[in-house]
Every structure is written in C-alpha cells, then in structure tokens.
Amino acid sequence: MGKLFRPRPLIVLPYNTSSQSPNNGASQAITLVIFLLADSWRSDAAPGGDRLAGTLKQPKTILVRCPNWVGDLVMATPVFDCLKKNFPEARLIGLMRKRLSQVLKDSPWFDQIIEVNDKTSRGFIHTIRLIRSFTPDMGILLPNSIRSTLEMWLGGARNIYGYRRGGRTPFLTGGPRPIREGWKIIPSPMVAYYSKICLSMGLELPEEMKPLLFFSESVHNKCDRLLKKYGINSGDLVIGLNPGARFGSSKCWPPRHFAALAELFEETFHCKLLLLVGPGEDALAEAIVEQTHAHITNTAPDKVDLELLKPLVQRCQLLVTNDTGPRHYAVAFDVPVVVIMGPTDPRYTASNLEKTSVLRHDLDCSPCHKKVCPRDHVCMREITPAMVLEAGKRLMVDRITRV
C-alpha cells in the first residue's frame, strides 16, 4: 500500500520587511506564506507527543501564555494560584509581553517569567523557538488570539488548554466554550472566565478567587523613601488619583474634573493627594496640577513603574481611577476604589467588588470599546467631581465602620 499523503496546513502570517528603525520610511507589507508539515514541527519539539491525549496528571513543565493587559493579568492571578496548587511539582513558566513581568515580580507562582515581543513576524518566530526550547508538557492559553495559539502549538506544547473560540479548537487538547447568545459571546467577569479553563481540566479551584499581588521588602523600602520625600507620614490619610489609561483617551476622565475633585477631597478629608501616572502621561499630570488649588504630589518626575506602583497603591486609603490596571491593584490589596467607567462593558470586571464603586452612565453609544471617542465623550464628562466625592465618602465610611 502506498504512503498516505497528508496535505500541509497553510498558515498565513503578516510580515513586515522594514528595517528595525521606525523612521526610515521604507517599510512595505508583504505576506509570508509558510507551508508546515505539522507532525514534523511538533514531533521535533515533543517526541511522541499527542495533543489529543488528555490532561497530563503530572506534567513536568507548564507554560502559561499570560494576558496582554495589566488589569487582565491581575485578574488572572487566581488561575496561577490554581495551577501551582494542583501541580506543585511542575515547573511553571509565565510568558508575557514586555513590562508586565513587573506586575508579577515576587509572586510565589512562577519558577520563571519570560518577556516576549511577538507583535512582529520576527518576534512571532522567536517566541515559537523560545517555547520549543522549554519542551512544555502543557500549555495554558489565557489570551483569546489565534496568534498565541499558533505560538504554543508550533512551539510543541504537548497538551494545550484554552477557550475554544475563533477557529482555535483544532489546535487545542481541551478547554471551555464561551457563553453565547446566538453568535454573540456574552461578556463575563474575567476572573470567572479564566477559571473555567481550570475547571475544564478538572482542577480544584482556590477557595477564594480573588486577585493577589506581592512585592519585596526592598520595593517596600523604596516606596517608604519616596513617600518620605513627598512629606507623607505613616499617620496621614492618603488618596490616590490615577488619571491615565494606556488603552486610549476614551477611558480618561477629563483633567479638569480630576483637578476639581482634588480640591473637594482636600477640603473634605484634609488628606494627602498622590497623583499616580504612567509612562508618557507627564503632560496629563501637569494639566491637573495646573488647574487645581489643591496640594497634589505629582509622581510623574519619579517615573513610577508597575513594580513600585504596588506598594504606592497599597499605601492609599482610597483610590480614584479610570477603568484601567491600577483599579485591579487596589482590589488585590483591599484598597477601596472608585472606578470612573465610560467606553468599557462593566460585566468584564464584575467580581470582587466589595470595596469598589463603579460610576458610569448607561448611554445608547456605550459600551463602545473604542480607544478614541468619535462623539463628545459624554459618558465620562457627565460623571461629575461631586458624584465621585460622594462615592468616595461612602467607601471611606464603610472602611471606618468595618475597622
């Protein structure tokens, strides 16, 4: 009998031939068509591997492809805790985009954290080779993209688990399906969404599915030195203001509103105000400081990174923020937080809200999930400083009552 011919799967990847310099202006987009015989690629990386073999009871190496946004990464921490507790002898490796490792630094879950930049074709291929070097017995996919799936599959992970959506099912060993209404996927809290991957594997979930973050004593000491420089003492009431959003301007409450809120807080609570901003948000911070009569400590000159941000948020008695990463820091550290929400769907973050007040207007155009508002940004503008002050008061009263 002749050898059975198996057609090669066709994988089409975006490829950019421009040089590494972003300013040379000589870029052009072409299509790189790669014909891969799947068996050969995967068998080289994991001899004898069978991606349909089912859950491995005692995997030696588990590679977790982590979410790409700060908030999603924090909301995924219960999954990391689950994997560590269910596979205590396994080597756990976290794969994530650059900068995000600062969020998980000093956490007890991962034996190794690897940063990658897989947005380009060169980075995509590099990531595949990197995964192959670890020869993972198991791969966990938390992003929903086909790109992350192909990286794990071509990287030779023997058993791959993630959501069966977006054409990914043929590459997966198992995983849940999202809840749909017709063809539309129904938004659900990300903590529960990620945990269903663990449940589909038959794993036992932690008793409390709450985000957790950690930092070292050296980072804590660095924070103390910075607070001392700012004139913030141990007995001071500190309220943090986080006016930025890496996602886009549509998530940002107007600077003049933050400026007015600072005055209200200072008058009401006689507190210290800590303005927390990220890279590239210096002008935003300056605009708030210039428009207020309140005494605000602007952290922009000190270039606070995602690691140092952890103890700074923990030091606050209250945080006011747009719907962005630091709100999830507050949840992880049990800090009361007022979230000003505009273009995003609140169902994605509707968990662990015991110390959270979400302010939003339910308009005909929201949630739009657009990075820049094409209209007049009414969803954010019409949330007034007085509304935020009242929400903050309620959280502060609840805090005092519990104490």
Q: How far is 69 from 42, CA to CA, in rounded Å? A: 29
Same domain, 230 and 105: no
Residue 28 within a domain? no
Domain termination residue (choose one: 166, 200, 234): 200
Report whether pLDDT(371) > 60.
yes
Looking at the fold, whether 152 and 225 belong to one and the same domain comes out as no
Both 299 and 165 in one domain: the answer is no
| Average pLDDT of the segment spanning 174-201 | 95
> Angle 102-107-112 (CA atoms, 0-180°, nearest 5)?
75
Facing residues of 11 across strands? Answer: 34
Q: How many domains does the chain have?
A: 2
CATH number at residue 103: 3.40.50.2000
4 within domain boundaries: no
Lowest mean pLDDT among 42-51, 151-160, 259-268, 340-349: 42-51
Mean of all residue pLDDT scores within the chain: 85
Asked whether residue 299 carries a pLDDT value surpassing 70, the answer given is: yes
**Does residue 262 sit in the same domain as residue 398?**
yes
Tokens standing for residue 329? 């820091």
Q: Which pLDDT band holds residue 368 (cuts at 50, 70, 90)?
A: low
Taking the C-alpha atoms of residue 213 and residue 223, their distance in angstroms, rounded to an integer, is 16
Query: Comparing 289 with 397, which gets the higher pLDDT?
Result: 289
Range of the domain at 284: 217-402
- State what percent of residues in the chain have pLDDT above 90: 72
> Which is higher by pLDDT, 259 or 251?
259
Return the higher-pLDDT residue of 4 and 112.
Answer: 112
Confidence (pLDDT) at 46: 40
Tell me what pLDDT residue 399 has: 58
* Residue 138 maps to a domain: yes
Confidence of residue 381 (pLDDT cuts 50, 70, 90): confident
Q: Look at residue 133 and tell me if it is in a domain.
A: yes
Domain identity same for 153 and 240: no
CA distance 151 to 116: 12
212 lies in a domain? no
> Which of 139, 168, 200 is a domain's end point?
200
Spell 341-359 as b/e; 16+ CB within 10 A means b: bbbbebebbbbbeebbbbb
Closest by CA to 265, choosing from 388, 92, 113, 131, is 388
pLDDT value, residue 50: 39
What is the predicted pLDDT for the residue at 397?
82
Q: If you write DSSP's letter for every residue of 204-219 in order, what string do you get? A: PPPSS--------HHH
Q: What is the mean pLDDT of residues 304-333?
A: 97
Q: Are 27 and 18 in contact (CB under 8 A)?
A: yes
Residue at which a domain ends, from 173, 200, 227: 200
236, part of any domain: yes
Q: If we measure between CA atoms, which residue out of 136, 144, 93, 98 comes closest to residue 119? A: 98
pLDDT at 182 over 60: yes
* pLDDT above 50 (res 21): no
Residue 168 lies in a domain: yes
Q: Does position 3 have pLDDT exceeding 90, yes or no?
A: no
240 lies in the same domain as 145: no
127 and 267 fall within a common domain: no
**Are 155 and 235 part of one and the same domain?**
no
Phi, psi for residue 161 in degrees, rounded to 5: -125, 135
Q: Are residues 228 and 353 part of one domain?
A: yes
Task: Kindly state the average pLDDT of the residues 305-311.
Answer: 97
Same domain, 194 and 293: no
Task: Kindly state whether residues 167 and 245 are assigned to the same domain.
Answer: no
Whether residue 205 is contained in a domain is answered as no
| 388 and 247 in a common domain | yes
Say what the pLDDT of residue 280 is. Answer: 87
pLDDT digits (tens, 9 = 90+) for 260-279: 999 999 999 999 999 999 88
Structure pTM?
0.86
CA–CA gap between residue 402 and residue 198 (Å, rounded): 34
Closest CA to 190 of 93, 86, 113, 77: 77
Residues 82-89, mean pLDDT to the nearest whole number: 96
